[in-house]
Amino acid sequence: MRMSKQHFDFIADTVGPMVGWPSQLHDLADRLAASNPKFNREKFISRAVNAWEQEHQHIYEVPIDDEIIF
């Protein structure tokens, strides 16, 4: 059975937020692309990164103090 768009959407929405960092989604997309020649890698990454950002938005809410003091 070949994976369909619905499968890829489910993976993006469910697994996307579970990865440690969004850059890991590129590796996942490479593997999924091998399962279906019609796989749209860019759409998958966009959807999965969006899901990751929604789950991890608290990261962006904390101000970062990156001042260097000599």
Domain boundaries, the chain: 5-61
The two three-digit tokens of residue 52, written as one number: 């990751």
Q: What number of other Cβ atoms are within 10 A of residue 19's Cβ?
A: 18
Taking only the tens place, the pLDDT of each residue in 14-64 is: 999 999 999 999 999 999 999 888 999 999 999 999 999 999 887 766 676
Extract the tokens encoding 44.
Answer: 């998958």
4 band by pLDDT with thresholds 50, 70 and 90: confident
Contact predicate 26/45, CB 8 Å: yes
Q: What is the mean pLDDT of residues 1-6?
A: 84
Which pTM does this prediction carry?
Answer: 0.78
Name, in order, each residue with C-beta under 8 angstroms of 39's C-beta and a sequence gap of 6 or more: 3, 8, 29, 32, 33
pLDDT of the residue at 60: 65
Per-residue confidence (pLDDT) for residue 28, from 0 to 100: 95
